[in-house]
């Protein structure tokens, strides 16, 4: 074993195997690639050794790995780390993805593990059928003891159909894989109450609930300049994970063997685990349209009720029956769910009582604009 024996103790581990059968680990570009655009091979071998230790203890590990664009940019001699234009990023990703996959196969192979590569786009996890297919593939690979190496397919993704960062991708992958924990390894050791470079910045070890105060602590910059995410994307990832009942930790990768070392981090405590379909709805990053509602309807939704036409006040976007829509109240997004009508019919029903709707539509109305069984609160 290249990384050497490094006994893991439960106290030192984030998400130990006996408490967390399946985890997702996200590794940022700044950790995997050095300033010259080469792989930090020795550090990565330590990560592979950590994964092998966890696998021997019975834990299944999937990795969301950044680094393809940074690696490809070096090989192609592209400016700004390959991010000067969409075309440069796509070319760098196409070139770097081969190098990245080969490197992971080598370091994991050195620990007796098999790597698999999965490239996804936003649509793969936003479309329900494709999401289920991805979840099935992930599950089978993990059952076989394979370590999936997952990345966004930047070669074909555009601004309209991409995650934009691997933090949120890791949270969605954890949801699809049925994981209990996500570790975001980064160049920072967690959340601070302000930019950690400022005097008096205080580290936040545990977050029970992501509210406006917590969200306000985030800085949206990537410290290294290599990646595409900052603390904003990490908090967004924690929201997605939390709504699916998955705990998420932000930890520093600027140490050797970060998956076995005892080091400072921030843990985001999850909400109660949601049913699979509702977790998928809550974790979505896109919607076909928006239905706005009054304060009374928003309160009814919070109490577990369906959305009735009487409480709806507006419609934006073009959507069909069965499409995902966001429901917004006076205080912002309240829920996300599957529309029972298309946008044109919802517009005709705005503010109308149930006993008026058949005459307006010309057919028997459905029970609600969005039924509570097909809705997730945000």
Lowest mean pLDDT of 50-64, 66-80, 159-173, 297-311, name the range: 159-173
44's enclosing H/E stretch is helix 41-56
Q: Is the pLDDT of residue 220 over 90?
A: no
Q: Higher model confidence: residue 377 or residue 156?
A: 377
pLDDT class for 285, splitting at 50, 70, 90? confident
- Residue 183 and residue 167: Cα distance in Å, rounded? 10
In this prediction, residue 49 carries a pLDDT of: 98
- Residue identified by tokens 């834990």 is 59
- Domain ranges (residues) in the chain: 12-280, 287-377
Percent of the chain scored above 90 by pLDDT?
Answer: 65
Please, what CATH class does the domain formed by 12-280 belong to?
alpha beta
Residue 224 has what DSSP assignment? T
Q: Do domains 12-280 and 287-377 have the same CATH topology?
A: no
**124-171, pLDDT tens digit by residue?**
888 888 898 999 999 999 999 999 999 988 888 766 546 768 999 999
In this prediction, residue 7 carries a pLDDT of: 47
Which pTM value belongs to this model?
0.81
Q: Which residues pair with 290 in a beta bridge?
A: 316, 326
Looking at domain 287-377, does it have CATH number 3.30.70.1230? no
Report residue 170 as tokens. 């890791």
In this prediction, residue 9 carries a pLDDT of: 47
In this prediction, residue 284 carries a pLDDT of: 83
Contact by Cβ (8 Å): 269, 207: yes
Q: Is the pLDDT of residue 230 over 90?
A: no
- Residue 241 and residue 274: Cα distance in Å, rounded? 11
In this prediction, residue 86 carries a pLDDT of: 84
Contact by Cβ (8 Å): 349, 368: no
**30-58, pLDDT tens digit by residue?**
899 998 888 999 999 999 999 999 999 99
Q: Is the pLDDT of residue 97 over 60?
A: yes
pLDDT class for 366, splitting at 50, 70, 90? confident
- For every residue of 236-269, DSSP letters joined together read HHHHHHHHTT-EEEEEE-SSSSTTTS---EEEEP
Taking all residues of the chain, what is their mean pLDDT, rounded to a whole number? Answer: 88
In this prediction, residue 46 carries a pLDDT of: 97
Contact by Cβ (8 Å): 171, 182: yes
- For every residue of 276-333, DSSP letters joined together read HHHHHHHH-S--SEEEEE-HHHHHHHHTT--B-GGGEEEEEE---TT-EEEEEETTEE
């Amino acid at each position: 074993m290249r990384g050497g024996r490094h006994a893991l103790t439960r106290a030192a581990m984030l998400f130990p195997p006996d408490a967390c059968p399946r985890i997702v680990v996200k590794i940022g570009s700044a950790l995997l690639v050095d300033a010259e655009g080469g792989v930090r091979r020795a550090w990565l071998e330590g990560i592979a050794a950590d994964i092998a230790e966890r696998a021997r203890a019975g834990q299944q590990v999937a990795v969301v790995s950044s680094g393809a664009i940074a690696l490809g940019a070096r090989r192609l001699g592209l400016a700004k780390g390959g991010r000067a234009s969409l075309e440069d990023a796509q070319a760098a990703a196409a070139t770097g993805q081969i190098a990245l996959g080969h490197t992971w196969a080598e370091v994991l192979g050195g620990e007796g593990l098999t790597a698999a590569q999965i490239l996804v786009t936003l649509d793969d996890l936003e479309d329900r059928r494709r999401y289920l297919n991805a979840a099935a593939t992930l599950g089978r690979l993990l059952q076989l003891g394979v370590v999936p190496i997952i990345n966004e397919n930047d070669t074909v993704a555009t601004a309209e159909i991409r995650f934009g960062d691997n933090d949120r991708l890791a949270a969605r992958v954890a949801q699809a894989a049925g994981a209990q924990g996500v570790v975001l390894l980064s160049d920072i050791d967690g959340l601070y109450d302000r930019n950690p470079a400022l005097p008096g910045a205080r580290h936040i070890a545990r977050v029970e609930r992501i509210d406006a105060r917590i969200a306000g602590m985030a800085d949206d910059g990537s410290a290294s300049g290599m990646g595409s995410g900052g603390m904003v994307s990490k908090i967004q990832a924690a929201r997605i994970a939390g709504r699916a009942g998955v705990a998420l930790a932000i930890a520093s990768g600027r140490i050797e063997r970060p998956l076995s070392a005892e080091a400072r981090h921030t843990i985001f405590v999850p909400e109660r685990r949601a049913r699979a379909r509702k977790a998928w709805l809550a974790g979505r990053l896109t919607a076909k349209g928006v239905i706005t509602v009054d304060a009374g309807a928003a309160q009814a939704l919070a109490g577990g009720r369906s959305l009735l036409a009487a409480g709806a006040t507006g419609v934006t976007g073009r959507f069909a029956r069965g499409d995902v829509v966001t429901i917004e109240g006076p205080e912002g997004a309240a829920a996300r769910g599957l529309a029972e009508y298309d946008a044109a019919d919802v517009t005709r029903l705005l503010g109308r009582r149930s006993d008026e709707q058949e005459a307006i539509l010309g057919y028997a109305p459905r029970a609600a604009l969005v039924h509570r069984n097909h809705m997730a609160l945000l």
